[in-house]
Amino acid sequence: MANILLIKNRKREYTDHYLATSPPLGVLYLAAYAREQRPGKDVFTMVDERVYAKTSREWEAYLKDLQPEVIGFSSMSIEQDQVDYLLPVFKRALPRAKIVIGGPLASSSGARLLDDANIDYVVKGEGEIPFTQLLEALDGNEDYPFDQIAGLAFRDDSGKIIDNPPSKNRADLDALPYPAYDLINLQDYVGRDRMTPVRTTQLYAPLFTSRGCPYHCIYCHDIFSGKFRAMSAMRVVDEIEHMINAYGVHEFEVYDDIFNLDKQRVKDISAEIKKRGLETYFTFPNGVRGDILDRETLEALKDMGTVHMAFAVETASPRIQKVLRKNINLKKIRENIAIAADLKIFTWGFLMMGLPKESRWELWKTIWFATSSKLHGAYFFPVVPFEGTELAQKYEEAIESHGEKRLWDYFLPEGALGAVGPRELSIMHSLAYFIFFFNPWRVYLIYTSGVAPFRRLVSLAFGIVRYIVADKILYTIKAKARKIFKFRITPRTA
């Protein structure tokens, strides 16, 4: 029997924008799948560092008490600072425990992470099958030799790094067990900042009903590989009904990369929810593919209780759309945003700034596209070229030439691949928010959206002002001071 501790990591050095916290679906799937495949063999414990942050001393005491044999650590790339900080603490406390790292960081950076001697195994990409096979291998089951576990990177007995290619054999999504929600308390996530920008105080749960995306944009993660696979409408509604009955959840935050690729599936899900008489609310904060929607599909989404939907426009420049391989039909997405807004779905746009060779004119076009649309809200993200993406490979030189090579900030332009430099980009970035939010048209749209009553509108406006003015200036000062005096920014604990 293995005693397994699963940890959802957090960012160590953070600005307020990195505090969003939603239930850690990835690790909950891992535990559910392993439990099903190895019944009675393991005991799982789950710690979400974003909810229950511990100091290094508290971690040492906790680990010595719990004595896990396997520690599964789930992290995004942006959270690597906390990986670097915590893993030596873990190894010191429990030198014999096996440390496995998975999630977006592992998928992006792969075997390179084994440069850190504290990490024993790296699992790239989709985790259910390789993680369960790894548990078998650690138990000594010879049917699962380490070098045959797809997507696993590890050191062999001689210390050589073995990097197994990812699997072509993926989990059957309809056969996946429901995520192991018994390992967390869903109440812990109520009232916190979350991916859905309009805060509610309702109990909610995430849904991930499809994996993979056929579009292959050059900046995108490829955690689930390009091929699109989806749960059937029945399996999706079964999970929704299970969450209502077992946990009293009626609001669902959908994280799919491209929930609406199969229009018929969307309509079937909506019809099935209606048929079963379920009371449901949905938000799509990770975005839908906005140009392949149509009125009928949007009405089906509205019927099933959709209150919020993000549209990933990224750029209003057709040239850059091609470079990114996103190829959004800008006319169509604008029309669909308007239909959604008219249906009283709170629409949010994702725009990127600082894209390859992006000119001042192209930046203005993007700002104008968003401002003149019926979007209720928008994020203008400075581009972050994540390791492992085509964008990062193609523009490696540009990334290095703007100072030390490290992950740029998602909210504050520190680097730029575009034709304008970081300083100008930063000014345009602030201007984009001002022009977008502080105009009577936007205020009218938000006020009449039916979703955001006045109090929310005011808090949204304060949030944006604080972000552009206070946080940006404060963060810049702190970052400069950090460089000069070499101290860390706001460690929350320890």
Binding site for ligand B12 (CB under 6 A): 8, 10-11, 18, 20-22, 24-27, 29-30, 72-74, 76-79, 100, 102-105, 107-108, 123, 126-128, 131, 195, 206, 208, 220-221, 223, 255, 257, 286, 386, 410
Rounded to an integer, what is the distance from CA 85 to the centroid of its chain?
Answer: 22
Smaller CB separation from ligand B12, 173 or 330: 173
Question: Tokens 């429901």 map to which residue?
Answer: 178
Smaller CB separation from ligand B12, 167 or 297: 167
Taking the complex as a whole, how short is the minimal distance between the CB of residue 23 and ligand B12, in angstroms?
6
Structural contact between residues 404 and 392, judged by C-beta atoms closer than 8 angstroms:
no
Smaller CB separation from ligand B12, 99 or 339: 99
Taking the complex as a whole, how short is the minimal distance between the CB of residue 20 and ligand B12, in angstroms?
4
Residues 199-258 that bind ligand SF4 (CB under 6 A): 213, 215-217, 220, 257-258
| Total of chain residues touching ligand SF4, rule CB under 6 A | 10
What is the distance between the alpha carbons of residues 308 and 314, in angstroms, rounded to a whole number?
Answer: 18
Structural contact between residues 488 and 15, judged by C-beta atoms closer than 8 angstroms:
no
Question: Which amino acid does the sequence have at 159?
Answer: G
Q: Is 351 in the site for ligand SF4 (CB under 6 A)?
A: no
- Residue 216 interaction partner, one of ligand B12, ligand SF4, none, beta carbon < 5-8 Å per kind: ligand SF4
What is the distance between the alpha carbons of residues 291 and 327, in angstroms, rounded to a whole number?
Answer: 10
Smaller CB separation from ligand SF4, 289 or 442: 289
- Residue 127 interaction partner, one of ligand SF4, ligand B12, none, beta carbon < 5-8 Å per kind: ligand B12
b/e per residue 408-435 (b: at least 16 CB within 10 A): bbebbbbbbbbbbebeebbebbbebbeb
Burial (CB < 10 A; 0-12, 13-18, 19+), residue 306, is buried
Residue 273 DSSP SS3: helix
What is the distance between the alpha carbons of residues 418 and 429, in angstroms, rounded to a whole number?
Answer: 13
Smaller CB separation from ligand SF4, 30 or 312: 312
Taking the complex as a whole, how short is the minimal distance between the CB of residue 234 and ligand B12, in angstroms?
20
Residues 275-294 that bind ligand SF4 (CB under 6 A): 289
Taking the complex as a whole, how short is the minimal distance between the CB of residue 350 and ligand SF4, in angstroms?
9
- Of 436, 423, 442, 434, nearest in space to 360 by CA: 423
Smaller CB separation from ligand B12, 104 or 418: 104
Beta-bridge partner residues of 347: 309
What is the distance between the alpha carbons of residues 47 and 51, in angstroms, rounded to a whole number?
Answer: 8
Taking the complex as a whole, how short is the minimal distance between the CB of residue 213 and ligand SF4, in angstroms?
3
Residues within the interface to ligand SF4 (CB under 6 A): 213, 215-217, 220, 257-258, 289, 312, 326
